[in-house]
Amino acid sequence: MTHSHQAQQLIDAARNRTATTALTDKEPHLDIAVAYDIQAEVVQARIDSGHVIVGAKLGLTSVAKQKQMNVSEPLYGWLTSDMQIDTGAQLACDTFIQPRCEPEIAFLLGSDLHGSHISAAHVLAATQFVFAAVDVLDSRFAGYSFTLPDVAADNSSSAGFSLGGTAIDPESVDLRTLGCVFEKNGQLVATASGAAVLGHPAASVAWLVRKLASRGEGLKAGHIVLSGAMTEAVAVQPGDCITARFDQLGTVEISCV
Amino acid sequence: MMKLSSDQSAAMALALLNARASLIAIPPFTESDPELGVAEGYAIQQHLLALLLEQGETLAGYKLGLTSLPMQELLGVDQPDFGPIFSSTIYRDGATVSVSDFIAPRVEAEIAVVLKKDLTGPHCTPAQVYQATDGLLAAIEIVDSRITDWKIKIADTIADLASGGAIALSSTLIPVDACDPRLIGMVFTKNGEIIATGAGAAALGDPLAAVAWLANTLAPLGVTLRSGSVIMTGALHAMAPISPGDTFRAEFAHLGPITLRIAE
Protein backbone atom coordinates (compact mmCIF):
# COMPACT_ATOMS: atom_id res chain seq x y z
CA MET A 1 0.00 0.00 0.00
CA THR A 2 2.56 2.54 -1.13
CA HIS A 3 -0.17 4.98 -2.08
CA SER A 4 -1.93 5.19 1.29
CA HIS A 5 -0.54 8.65 1.91
CA GLN A 6 -2.27 9.86 -1.24
CA ALA A 7 -5.54 8.28 -0.16
CA GLN A 8 -5.10 9.96 3.23
CA GLN A 9 -4.51 13.30 1.49
CA LEU A 10 -7.92 12.94 -0.19
CA ILE A 11 -9.67 11.65 2.94
CA ASP A 12 -8.34 14.60 4.96
CA ALA A 13 -9.33 17.11 2.26
CA ALA A 14 -12.93 15.86 2.34
CA ARG A 15 -13.08 15.71 6.15
CA ASN A 16 -11.55 19.18 6.63
CA ARG A 17 -13.42 20.66 3.64
CA THR A 18 -10.16 22.06 2.37
CA ALA A 19 -9.04 21.58 -1.21
CA THR A 20 -5.70 19.94 -1.87
CA THR A 21 -3.28 19.82 -4.82
CA ALA A 22 -3.42 17.30 -7.65
CA LEU A 23 -1.68 13.99 -6.90
CA THR A 24 -0.05 14.16 -10.32
CA ASP A 25 1.75 17.36 -9.29
CA LYS A 26 4.12 15.13 -7.27
CA GLU A 27 3.64 11.96 -9.29
CA PRO A 28 3.14 12.91 -12.94
CA HIS A 29 3.01 9.31 -14.11
CA LEU A 30 0.36 8.10 -11.68
CA ASP A 31 -1.19 5.07 -13.33
CA ILE A 32 -4.98 4.91 -13.77
CA ALA A 33 -5.13 1.41 -12.23
CA VAL A 34 -3.20 2.67 -9.20
CA ALA A 35 -5.57 5.65 -9.08
CA TYR A 36 -8.51 3.25 -8.72
CA ASP A 37 -6.59 1.48 -5.89
CA ILE A 38 -6.33 4.84 -4.13
CA GLN A 39 -10.05 5.34 -4.75
CA ALA A 40 -10.76 1.99 -3.05
CA GLU A 41 -8.93 3.23 0.06
CA VAL A 42 -10.81 6.53 0.01
CA VAL A 43 -14.13 4.66 -0.21
CA GLN A 44 -13.05 2.20 2.50
CA ALA A 45 -12.45 5.14 4.83
CA ARG A 46 -16.12 6.13 4.43
CA ILE A 47 -17.20 2.54 5.11
CA ASP A 48 -14.95 2.45 8.19
CA SER A 49 -16.77 5.56 9.40
CA GLY A 50 -20.01 3.57 9.42
CA HIS A 51 -21.42 4.34 5.97
CA VAL A 52 -22.33 1.78 3.34
CA ILE A 53 -22.01 1.65 -0.44
CA VAL A 54 -25.36 2.49 -2.02
CA GLY A 55 -24.27 2.54 -5.65
CA ALA A 56 -21.91 4.05 -8.19
CA LYS A 57 -21.60 6.97 -10.58
CA LEU A 58 -20.01 7.64 -13.93
CA GLY A 59 -18.03 10.64 -15.04
CA LEU A 60 -16.67 11.88 -18.37
CA THR A 61 -19.52 10.23 -20.27
CA SER A 62 -19.78 12.91 -22.94
CA VAL A 63 -17.55 12.78 -25.98
CA ALA A 64 -16.96 16.54 -25.62
CA LYS A 65 -15.71 16.14 -22.02
CA GLN A 66 -13.50 13.18 -22.99
CA LYS A 67 -11.91 15.22 -25.76
CA GLN A 68 -11.39 18.09 -23.33
CA MET A 69 -9.57 15.75 -20.91
CA ASN A 70 -7.85 13.95 -23.80
CA VAL A 71 -9.18 10.53 -22.79
CA SER A 72 -11.25 7.96 -24.63
CA GLU A 73 -13.27 6.40 -21.83
CA PRO A 74 -15.41 7.46 -18.88
CA LEU A 75 -14.51 6.94 -15.24
CA TYR A 76 -16.43 5.86 -12.16
CA GLY A 77 -16.73 6.32 -8.42
CA TRP A 78 -18.69 4.79 -5.57
CA LEU A 79 -21.68 6.36 -3.83
CA THR A 80 -21.93 5.92 -0.06
CA SER A 81 -24.93 6.39 2.22
CA ASP A 82 -23.59 9.66 3.64
CA MET A 83 -23.82 11.20 0.16
CA GLN A 84 -27.59 10.81 -0.11
CA ILE A 85 -29.60 14.02 -0.13
CA ASP A 86 -33.08 12.62 0.24
CA THR A 87 -35.85 13.69 -2.12
CA GLY A 88 -36.90 17.23 -1.20
CA ALA A 89 -33.99 17.80 1.21
CA GLN A 90 -31.66 20.78 0.95
CA LEU A 91 -28.03 20.87 -0.12
CA ALA A 92 -25.90 22.18 2.73
CA CYS A 93 -23.06 23.95 0.96
CA ASP A 94 -20.84 24.08 4.06
CA THR A 95 -20.53 20.29 4.06
CA PHE A 96 -18.65 20.54 0.76
CA ILE A 97 -15.53 22.30 -0.51
CA GLN A 98 -16.67 23.63 -3.92
CA PRO A 99 -19.95 21.91 -4.83
CA ARG A 100 -21.27 21.71 -8.38
CA CYS A 101 -24.53 20.18 -9.63
CA GLU A 102 -25.40 18.38 -12.84
CA PRO A 103 -28.55 16.58 -14.06
CA GLU A 104 -28.45 12.82 -14.59
CA ILE A 105 -30.63 9.79 -15.12
CA ALA A 106 -30.34 7.31 -12.21
CA PHE A 107 -30.87 3.55 -12.35
CA LEU A 108 -32.05 1.53 -9.35
CA LEU A 109 -31.03 -2.08 -9.94
CA GLY A 110 -33.47 -4.90 -9.28
CA SER A 111 -30.84 -7.60 -9.65
CA ASP A 112 -27.06 -8.00 -9.49
CA LEU A 113 -25.05 -7.02 -12.55
CA HIS A 114 -21.56 -8.29 -13.17
CA GLY A 115 -19.47 -9.61 -16.00
CA SER A 116 -17.47 -8.50 -19.01
CA HIS A 117 -20.37 -9.37 -21.34
CA ILE A 118 -22.91 -6.87 -20.02
CA SER A 119 -24.63 -4.64 -22.61
CA ALA A 120 -27.20 -1.85 -22.39
CA ALA A 121 -29.95 -4.44 -22.88
CA HIS A 122 -28.78 -6.41 -19.83
CA VAL A 123 -28.72 -3.19 -17.81
CA LEU A 124 -32.30 -2.32 -18.78
CA ALA A 125 -33.44 -5.86 -17.94
CA ALA A 126 -31.80 -5.64 -14.51
CA THR A 127 -33.16 -2.16 -13.76
CA GLN A 128 -36.20 -1.90 -11.51
CA PHE A 129 -36.72 1.86 -11.83
CA VAL A 130 -35.15 4.91 -13.40
CA PHE A 131 -35.24 8.31 -11.72
CA ALA A 132 -34.49 11.93 -12.45
CA ALA A 133 -31.38 12.83 -10.46
CA VAL A 134 -28.98 15.60 -9.58
CA ASP A 135 -25.36 14.65 -8.97
CA VAL A 136 -23.46 16.87 -6.54
CA LEU A 137 -19.77 16.97 -7.38
CA ASP A 138 -17.09 18.20 -5.04
CA SER A 139 -13.55 17.88 -6.28
CA ARG A 140 -11.09 17.62 -3.47
CA PHE A 141 -8.59 19.35 -5.80
CA ALA A 142 -8.46 23.15 -5.75
CA GLY A 143 -10.39 24.72 -8.62
CA TYR A 144 -11.26 21.32 -10.15
CA SER A 145 -7.73 21.30 -11.53
CA PHE A 146 -6.86 17.67 -12.15
CA THR A 147 -5.89 15.03 -14.68
CA LEU A 148 -7.71 11.74 -15.24
CA PRO A 149 -5.81 9.65 -12.61
CA ASP A 150 -6.34 12.42 -10.03
CA VAL A 151 -10.10 12.49 -10.44
CA ALA A 152 -10.31 8.67 -10.51
CA ALA A 153 -8.40 8.57 -7.18
CA ASP A 154 -10.79 11.26 -5.86
CA ASN A 155 -13.72 8.85 -6.34
CA SER A 156 -14.73 10.78 -9.46
CA SER A 157 -15.51 13.88 -7.36
CA SER A 158 -18.46 11.99 -5.76
CA ALA A 159 -19.95 14.01 -2.95
CA GLY A 160 -23.74 13.93 -3.00
CA PHE A 161 -26.79 13.03 -5.03
CA SER A 162 -30.53 13.46 -4.95
CA LEU A 163 -33.18 11.46 -6.78
CA GLY A 164 -36.56 12.68 -7.98
CA GLY A 165 -39.75 11.50 -6.33
CA THR A 166 -41.10 9.47 -9.24
CA ALA A 167 -39.98 5.89 -9.86
CA ILE A 168 -40.40 5.03 -13.54
CA ASP A 169 -40.39 1.61 -15.16
CA PRO A 170 -37.50 1.67 -17.70
CA GLU A 171 -39.73 -0.24 -20.15
CA SER A 172 -42.00 2.78 -20.47
CA VAL A 173 -39.42 5.37 -21.59
CA ASP A 174 -36.94 5.87 -24.42
CA LEU A 175 -33.96 7.08 -22.44
CA ARG A 176 -32.07 8.01 -25.62
CA THR A 177 -34.42 10.81 -26.67
CA LEU A 178 -35.63 11.67 -23.17
CA GLY A 179 -35.41 15.45 -22.77
CA CYS A 180 -33.78 17.28 -19.86
CA VAL A 181 -33.90 20.99 -19.04
CA PHE A 182 -31.42 22.21 -16.44
CA GLU A 183 -31.96 25.53 -14.64
CA LYS A 184 -30.21 27.50 -11.94
CA ASN A 185 -32.30 30.13 -10.16
CA GLY A 186 -34.89 29.94 -12.91
CA GLN A 187 -32.36 30.64 -15.66
CA LEU A 188 -31.81 28.04 -18.35
CA VAL A 189 -28.33 26.49 -18.08
CA ALA A 190 -28.60 23.87 -20.82
CA THR A 191 -30.86 21.29 -22.45
CA ALA A 192 -30.02 17.77 -23.55
CA SER A 193 -31.43 14.35 -24.24
CA GLY A 194 -30.29 11.03 -22.77
CA ALA A 195 -28.08 10.32 -25.78
CA ALA A 196 -25.66 12.91 -24.38
CA VAL A 197 -24.56 10.15 -22.00
CA LEU A 198 -22.39 7.81 -24.09
CA GLY A 199 -25.17 7.54 -26.71
CA HIS A 200 -27.56 5.95 -24.18
CA PRO A 201 -27.55 6.08 -20.38
CA ALA A 202 -27.92 2.28 -20.14
CA ALA A 203 -24.81 1.87 -22.34
CA SER A 204 -22.99 4.02 -19.82
CA VAL A 205 -24.02 1.73 -16.94
CA ALA A 206 -23.02 -1.29 -19.06
CA TRP A 207 -19.55 0.20 -19.54
CA LEU A 208 -19.28 0.55 -15.76
CA VAL A 209 -20.21 -3.10 -15.19
CA ARG A 210 -17.64 -4.29 -17.74
CA LYS A 211 -15.00 -2.00 -16.21
CA LEU A 212 -15.76 -3.31 -12.72
CA ALA A 213 -15.53 -6.90 -14.02
CA SER A 214 -11.91 -6.26 -14.96
CA ARG A 215 -11.27 -5.61 -11.25
CA GLY A 216 -13.36 -8.59 -10.12
CA GLU A 217 -16.16 -6.33 -8.92
CA GLY A 218 -19.81 -5.75 -9.85
CA LEU A 219 -23.05 -4.02 -8.96
CA LYS A 220 -25.67 -5.39 -6.58
CA ALA A 221 -29.47 -5.40 -6.50
CA GLY A 222 -30.57 -2.19 -4.78
CA HIS A 223 -27.59 -0.20 -6.02
CA ILE A 224 -28.28 3.23 -7.46
CA VAL A 225 -26.21 4.15 -10.52
CA LEU A 226 -25.86 7.74 -11.70
CA SER A 227 -25.28 7.23 -15.41
CA GLY A 228 -23.38 10.45 -16.21
CA ALA A 229 -23.91 14.17 -16.66
CA MET A 230 -26.35 15.23 -19.37
CA THR A 231 -25.12 18.83 -19.37
CA GLU A 232 -22.26 20.88 -18.00
CA ALA A 233 -22.08 21.22 -14.20
CA VAL A 234 -22.89 24.49 -12.41
CA ALA A 235 -21.28 25.80 -9.23
CA VAL A 236 -23.71 26.37 -6.35
CA GLN A 237 -23.72 28.50 -3.22
CA PRO A 238 -26.20 29.16 -0.41
CA GLY A 239 -29.40 30.70 -1.79
CA ASP A 240 -29.20 28.95 -5.15
CA CYS A 241 -32.02 26.79 -6.45
CA ILE A 242 -31.20 24.01 -8.89
CA THR A 243 -33.93 22.51 -11.06
CA ALA A 244 -33.52 19.50 -13.34
CA ARG A 245 -36.72 18.88 -15.34
CA PHE A 246 -37.02 15.63 -17.24
CA ASP A 247 -39.65 14.48 -19.67
CA GLN A 248 -41.61 11.63 -18.05
CA LEU A 249 -39.24 11.22 -15.07
CA GLY A 250 -40.34 14.45 -13.40
CA THR A 251 -38.31 17.13 -11.70
CA VAL A 252 -35.56 17.32 -9.08
CA GLU A 253 -35.40 20.65 -7.30
CA ILE A 254 -32.71 21.37 -4.73
CA SER A 255 -32.38 24.48 -2.58
CA CYS A 256 -28.85 25.23 -1.51
CA VAL A 257 -28.36 26.55 2.01
CA MET B 1 -35.28 56.79 -35.51
CA MET B 2 -34.88 54.88 -38.76
CA LYS B 3 -31.39 55.35 -40.15
CA LEU B 4 -32.35 54.36 -43.71
CA SER B 5 -34.58 55.98 -46.32
CA SER B 6 -37.03 53.73 -48.13
CA ASP B 7 -34.87 54.00 -51.27
CA GLN B 8 -31.80 52.90 -49.34
CA SER B 9 -33.50 49.83 -47.87
CA ALA B 10 -34.96 48.98 -51.29
CA ALA B 11 -31.48 49.10 -52.81
CA MET B 12 -30.11 46.84 -50.09
CA ALA B 13 -33.01 44.41 -50.58
CA LEU B 14 -32.20 44.33 -54.30
CA ALA B 15 -28.56 43.54 -53.53
CA LEU B 16 -29.71 40.60 -51.38
CA LEU B 17 -32.12 39.46 -54.11
CA ASN B 18 -29.24 39.40 -56.58
CA ALA B 19 -27.05 37.52 -54.10
CA ARG B 20 -29.81 34.92 -53.71
CA ALA B 21 -30.06 34.50 -57.47
CA SER B 22 -26.34 34.48 -58.25
CA LEU B 23 -25.30 32.65 -55.06
CA ILE B 24 -22.54 35.21 -54.69
CA ALA B 25 -22.40 36.66 -51.20
CA ILE B 26 -22.28 40.38 -50.58
CA PRO B 27 -20.35 42.29 -47.88
CA PRO B 28 -22.28 43.03 -44.68
CA PHE B 29 -24.33 46.24 -44.80
CA THR B 30 -23.04 47.03 -41.32
CA GLU B 31 -19.50 47.19 -42.68
CA SER B 32 -20.21 50.48 -44.47
CA ASP B 33 -22.87 51.58 -42.00
CA PRO B 34 -22.19 50.27 -38.47
CA GLU B 35 -25.19 52.20 -37.14
CA LEU B 36 -27.72 49.85 -38.73
CA GLY B 37 -29.74 47.89 -36.20
CA VAL B 38 -32.85 45.79 -35.73
CA ALA B 39 -35.33 48.34 -37.21
CA GLU B 40 -33.25 48.87 -40.33
CA GLY B 41 -32.82 45.10 -40.73
CA TYR B 42 -36.58 44.55 -40.78
CA ALA B 43 -37.09 47.49 -43.16
CA ILE B 44 -34.75 45.82 -45.65
CA GLN B 45 -36.38 42.42 -45.00
CA GLN B 46 -39.84 43.90 -45.81
CA HIS B 47 -38.57 45.15 -49.18
CA LEU B 48 -36.90 41.83 -49.95
CA LEU B 49 -40.03 39.88 -48.96
CA ALA B 50 -42.13 42.04 -51.34
CA LEU B 51 -39.67 41.43 -54.18
CA LEU B 52 -39.70 37.65 -53.63
CA LEU B 53 -43.51 37.53 -53.42
CA GLU B 54 -43.62 39.49 -56.70
CA GLN B 55 -41.38 36.83 -58.21
CA GLY B 56 -43.98 34.20 -57.33
CA GLU B 57 -42.80 32.91 -53.96
CA THR B 58 -45.58 32.14 -51.47
CA LEU B 59 -45.38 32.63 -47.74
CA ALA B 60 -45.70 29.36 -45.78
CA GLY B 61 -44.71 30.61 -42.37
CA TYR B 62 -41.82 32.03 -40.39
CA LYS B 63 -38.58 30.97 -38.82
CA LEU B 64 -37.23 32.24 -35.55
CA GLY B 65 -33.55 32.81 -35.09
CA LEU B 66 -31.33 33.79 -32.16
CA THR B 67 -33.62 31.99 -29.71
CA SER B 68 -30.76 30.97 -27.42
CA LEU B 69 -28.92 33.23 -24.99
CA PRO B 70 -25.43 32.39 -26.41
CA MET B 71 -26.54 33.38 -29.93
CA GLN B 72 -28.16 36.59 -28.69
CA GLU B 73 -25.00 37.47 -26.79
CA LEU B 74 -22.92 36.72 -29.88
CA LEU B 75 -24.91 39.26 -31.88
CA GLY B 76 -25.33 41.72 -29.01
CA VAL B 77 -29.13 41.58 -28.81
CA ASP B 78 -31.61 40.62 -26.11
CA GLN B 79 -34.31 39.20 -28.37
CA PRO B 80 -34.70 36.66 -31.16
CA ASP B 81 -35.30 37.55 -34.80
CA PHE B 82 -37.58 36.20 -37.51
CA GLY B 83 -37.79 35.77 -41.26
CA PRO B 84 -40.27 34.35 -43.78
CA ILE B 85 -40.39 30.74 -44.97
CA PHE B 86 -41.44 30.15 -48.58
CA SER B 87 -43.34 27.11 -49.81
CA SER B 88 -40.63 26.48 -52.41
CA THR B 89 -38.03 25.87 -49.70
CA ILE B 90 -39.89 23.17 -47.74
CA TYR B 91 -38.62 19.61 -48.10
CA ARG B 92 -40.05 16.32 -46.93
CA ASP B 93 -38.58 13.82 -44.50
CA GLY B 94 -35.84 11.86 -46.29
CA ALA B 95 -35.32 14.51 -48.97
CA THR B 96 -31.97 15.38 -50.49
CA VAL B 97 -30.82 18.97 -50.72
CA SER B 98 -27.94 20.14 -52.81
CA VAL B 99 -25.18 22.32 -51.35
CA SER B 100 -24.92 23.99 -54.76
CA ASP B 101 -28.29 25.66 -54.10
CA PHE B 102 -26.76 27.57 -51.19
CA ILE B 103 -23.83 29.85 -50.46
CA ALA B 104 -22.56 28.77 -47.03
CA PRO B 105 -25.14 26.30 -45.71
CA ARG B 106 -25.26 24.98 -42.15
CA VAL B 107 -27.80 22.81 -40.40
CA GLU B 108 -29.79 22.75 -37.18
CA ALA B 109 -32.62 20.69 -35.66
CA GLU B 110 -35.78 22.33 -34.33
CA ILE B 111 -39.40 21.85 -33.37
CA ALA B 112 -41.91 23.24 -35.90
CA VAL B 113 -45.36 24.45 -34.85
CA VAL B 114 -48.29 24.27 -37.31
CA LEU B 115 -51.24 26.58 -36.61
CA LYS B 116 -54.92 25.76 -37.04
CA LYS B 117 -56.15 29.24 -36.10
CA ASP B 118 -54.99 32.77 -36.83
CA LEU B 119 -52.88 34.40 -34.12
CA THR B 120 -52.78 38.16 -33.75
CA GLY B 121 -50.57 40.12 -31.34
CA PRO B 122 -49.63 42.20 -29.49
CA HIS B 123 -51.10 40.44 -26.44
CA CYS B 124 -50.74 36.85 -27.57
CA THR B 125 -49.89 34.41 -24.74
CA PRO B 126 -48.38 30.90 -24.84
CA ALA B 127 -51.82 29.62 -23.74
CA GLN B 128 -53.38 31.17 -26.87
CA VAL B 129 -50.65 29.63 -28.98
CA TYR B 130 -51.43 26.27 -27.39
CA GLN B 131 -55.10 26.64 -28.41
CA ALA B 132 -54.18 27.76 -31.92
CA THR B 133 -51.68 24.94 -32.50
CA ASP B 134 -52.71 22.14 -34.83
CA GLY B 135 -49.63 20.12 -33.88
CA LEU B 136 -45.86 19.82 -33.77
CA LEU B 137 -43.43 18.46 -36.36
CA ALA B 138 -39.82 17.33 -36.21
CA ALA B 139 -37.78 19.70 -38.37
CA ILE B 140 -34.32 20.37 -39.74
CA GLU B 141 -33.38 23.79 -41.02
CA ILE B 142 -30.68 24.63 -43.53
CA VAL B 143 -29.50 28.10 -42.65
CA ASP B 144 -27.49 30.10 -45.15
CA SER B 145 -26.03 33.56 -45.31
CA ARG B 146 -26.02 35.79 -48.37
CA ILE B 147 -23.48 37.86 -46.43
CA THR B 148 -19.81 37.06 -47.02
CA ASP B 149 -18.48 34.37 -44.65
CA TRP B 150 -21.38 34.78 -42.20
CA LYS B 151 -19.80 38.06 -41.04
CA ILE B 152 -23.20 39.18 -39.82
CA LYS B 153 -24.30 41.74 -37.33
CA ILE B 154 -27.93 41.85 -36.24
CA ALA B 155 -29.10 44.16 -39.08
CA ASP B 156 -27.41 41.99 -41.71
CA THR B 157 -28.97 38.71 -40.65
CA ILE B 158 -32.44 40.21 -40.18
CA ALA B 159 -32.28 41.83 -43.64
CA ASP B 160 -31.15 38.47 -45.05
CA LEU B 161 -34.43 36.83 -43.94
CA ALA B 162 -32.91 35.74 -40.63
CA SER B 163 -30.35 33.68 -42.57
CA GLY B 164 -33.05 31.21 -43.64
CA GLY B 165 -32.26 28.69 -46.36
CA ALA B 166 -34.63 25.73 -46.47
CA ILE B 167 -36.45 23.44 -44.09
CA ALA B 168 -37.40 19.78 -43.95
CA LEU B 169 -40.46 18.66 -41.99
CA SER B 170 -41.59 15.27 -40.70
CA SER B 171 -44.91 13.96 -42.04
CA THR B 172 -46.83 13.16 -38.87
CA LEU B 173 -48.39 16.07 -37.04
CA ILE B 174 -48.29 15.36 -33.29
CA PRO B 175 -50.97 16.97 -31.09
CA VAL B 176 -49.50 19.52 -28.70
CA ASP B 177 -51.37 18.04 -25.74
CA ALA B 178 -49.40 14.79 -26.07
CA CYS B 179 -46.33 16.23 -24.39
CA ASP B 180 -44.72 19.27 -22.80
CA PRO B 181 -42.96 21.00 -25.73
CA ARG B 182 -40.24 22.31 -23.38
CA LEU B 183 -39.20 18.79 -22.43
CA ILE B 184 -39.18 17.18 -25.89
CA GLY B 185 -35.71 15.64 -26.15
CA MET B 186 -33.77 15.48 -29.39
CA VAL B 187 -30.70 13.59 -30.63
CA PHE B 188 -28.98 15.00 -33.72
CA THR B 189 -26.69 12.71 -35.68
CA LYS B 190 -24.47 13.24 -38.70
CA ASN B 191 -23.71 10.05 -40.59
CA GLY B 192 -24.76 8.08 -37.52
CA GLU B 193 -22.56 9.94 -35.08
CA ILE B 194 -24.16 12.04 -32.34
CA ILE B 195 -23.23 15.70 -32.83
CA ALA B 196 -25.69 17.29 -30.41
CA THR B 197 -28.59 16.70 -28.07
CA GLY B 198 -31.12 19.18 -26.73
CA ALA B 199 -34.68 19.75 -25.59
CA GLY B 200 -37.47 22.13 -26.57
CA ALA B 201 -36.71 24.65 -23.83
CA ALA B 202 -33.55 25.62 -25.74
CA ALA B 203 -35.88 27.66 -27.99
CA LEU B 204 -36.60 30.73 -25.88
CA GLY B 205 -37.51 28.57 -22.87
CA ASP B 206 -40.60 27.16 -24.59
CA PRO B 207 -41.36 26.70 -28.32
CA LEU B 208 -44.93 27.96 -27.74
CA ALA B 209 -43.62 31.11 -26.05
CA ALA B 210 -41.41 31.60 -29.10
CA VAL B 211 -44.51 31.58 -31.33
CA ALA B 212 -46.24 34.07 -28.99
CA TRP B 213 -43.18 36.35 -29.27
CA LEU B 214 -43.45 36.13 -33.06
CA ALA B 215 -47.18 36.98 -33.11
CA ASN B 216 -46.58 39.93 -30.80
CA THR B 217 -43.61 41.17 -32.82
CA LEU B 218 -45.54 40.94 -36.10
CA ALA B 219 -48.51 42.87 -34.69
CA PRO B 220 -47.03 46.39 -35.09
CA LEU B 221 -46.36 45.51 -38.75
CA GLY B 222 -50.06 44.73 -39.16
CA VAL B 223 -49.29 41.06 -39.79
CA THR B 224 -51.37 38.16 -38.43
CA LEU B 225 -49.99 34.63 -38.19
CA ARG B 226 -52.34 32.69 -40.44
CA SER B 227 -53.92 29.33 -39.82
CA GLY B 228 -51.83 26.70 -41.59
CA SER B 229 -48.59 28.58 -41.04
CA VAL B 230 -45.45 26.65 -40.15
CA ILE B 231 -43.28 28.25 -37.50
CA MET B 232 -39.72 27.06 -36.97
CA THR B 233 -39.23 27.81 -33.28
CA GLY B 234 -35.44 27.93 -33.13
CA ALA B 235 -32.42 25.63 -32.92
CA LEU B 236 -32.05 23.24 -29.99
CA HIS B 237 -28.22 23.18 -30.31
CA ALA B 238 -25.32 25.00 -31.99
CA MET B 239 -25.55 24.95 -35.81
CA ALA B 240 -23.35 22.42 -37.63
CA PRO B 241 -21.43 22.58 -40.94
CA ILE B 242 -22.53 20.34 -43.84
CA SER B 243 -20.78 18.57 -46.71
CA PRO B 244 -22.02 16.64 -49.75
CA GLY B 245 -22.66 13.02 -48.80
CA ASP B 246 -23.73 13.83 -45.25
CA THR B 247 -26.92 12.40 -43.80
CA PHE B 248 -28.41 14.32 -40.89
CA ARG B 249 -31.01 12.77 -38.65
CA ALA B 250 -32.80 14.47 -35.81
CA GLU B 251 -34.72 12.07 -33.61
CA PHE B 252 -37.24 13.69 -31.30
CA ALA B 253 -39.08 12.15 -28.37
CA HIS B 254 -42.83 12.17 -29.17
CA LEU B 255 -42.34 13.69 -32.66
CA GLY B 256 -40.24 10.95 -34.25
CA PRO B 257 -37.29 11.31 -36.61
CA ILE B 258 -36.53 13.57 -39.57
CA THR B 259 -33.76 12.83 -42.05
CA LEU B 260 -32.11 15.15 -44.55
CA ARG B 261 -29.45 14.12 -47.06
CA ILE B 262 -26.90 16.46 -48.54
CA ALA B 263 -25.73 16.19 -52.17
CA GLU B 264 -23.23 18.11 -54.33
Q: Which of B108, B187, B188, B195 to mutate to test the interface with A (most CBs of A within 10 A)?
A: B187
Tell me which residue in A63, A191, A199 faces B202 most closely, judged by beta carbons: A191
Q: Does the beta carbon of B209 lie under 8 angstroms from any beta carbon of chain A?
A: no
The verdict on B200 touching A (C-beta cutoff 8 Å) is: yes
So what's the pLDDT on residue A64? 78
* Banded pLDDT at B69 (limits 50, 70, 90): confident
CA atoms within 13 A on the CB side of A38: 26
Q: From the list A230, A245, A247, which residue is nearest B253 (CB)?
A: A247
B124-142: average pLDDT: 97
Residue-by-residue DSSP string for A129-160: EEEEEEEEE--SBGGG---HHHHHHTGGGEEE
Q: Cα Rg for chain B, rounded, in angstroms?
A: 17
Give me the domains of chain B, ranges plus CATH numbers. Answer: 59-263 (3.90.850.10)
Query: Nearest CB to B185: which of A63, A193, A199?
Result: A193
User: In this structure, are residues B196 and A63 in contact, taking their beta carbons and an 8 Å threshold?
Assistant: no
Contact: B251, A177; criterion CB under 8 Å: yes
Q: What is the mean pLDDT of chain A?
A: 96
Mean pLDDT calculated for residue range A213-227: 97
The Cα angle at residue B88 between residues B84 and B92, in degrees rounded to 5: 105
Q: Which of B182, B205, B252 sits opposite A177 (nearest CB)?
A: B252
Residue A39 has pLDDT above 90, yes or no: yes
- Tens digits of per-residue pLDDT, A126-156? 999 999 999 999 999 999 999 999 999 999 9
Q: pLDDT by residue (tens digit) across B229-243?
A: 999 999 999 999 999
Residue A100 contacts residue A135 (beta carbons within 8 Å): no
Euclidean distance between CA atoms A240 and B32, whole angstroms: 46
Question: Which chain A positions have a beta carbon within 8 Å of B170's beta carbon?
Answer: none
Nearest one of B157, B160, B162, B238 to B198, comparing CA atoms:
B238
Give the CATH class of A4-255.
alpha beta
Average pLDDT, integer, range A168-179: 97
State the DSSP code for B225: B
A180 contact residues in B (CB cutoff 8 A): 183, 185, 199
**Greatest extent of chain A over all pairs of C-alpha atoms, in Å:** 50
Q: Identify the closest residue of chain A to B69 by CA–CA distance.
A: A188
Q: Render B124-143 in DSSP notation, one character per residue.
A: --HHHHHHHEEEEEEEEEEE
**Average pLDDT rounded to a whole number, residues B190-205:** 96
Mutate to test the interface with A, among B170, B197, B233 (most CBs of A within 10 A): B197
Say if the Cβ atoms of A199 and B194 lie within 8 Å: yes
> Phi first, then psi: what are they for A59, rounded to 5°?
-130, 165
* Continuous segment of H or E residues that includes residue B113: strand B106-115
- Mean of the per-residue pLDDT values of chain B: 96
| CA distance, residue B215 to nearest chain A CA (Å) | 23
Tell me the pLDDT tens digit for each residue of A189-210. Answer: 999 999 999 999 999 999 999 9
Query: How far is residue A107 from each of residues A44, A63, A110, A163, A179, measured CA to CA in Å?
Result: 23, 21, 9, 10, 16
Alpha carbons within 13 angstroms on the beta-carbon side of residue A104 total: 33
Q: What is the pTM (predicted TM-score) of this model? A: 0.94
Q: How confident is the model at residue A1 (pLDDT cuts 50, 70, 90)?
A: very low
Instruction: Give me the pLDDT at residue A3, please.
Output: 82
CB contact under 8 A, B183 and A181: yes
The DSSP bridge partners found for residue B111 are B138
User: How close are the terminal C-alpha atoms of chain B, in Å?
Assistant: 45
Per-residue pLDDT at A2 exceeds 70: no
- State the burial class of residue B204 (Cβ atoms within 10 Å of its Cβ: 0-12, 13-18, 19+): buried
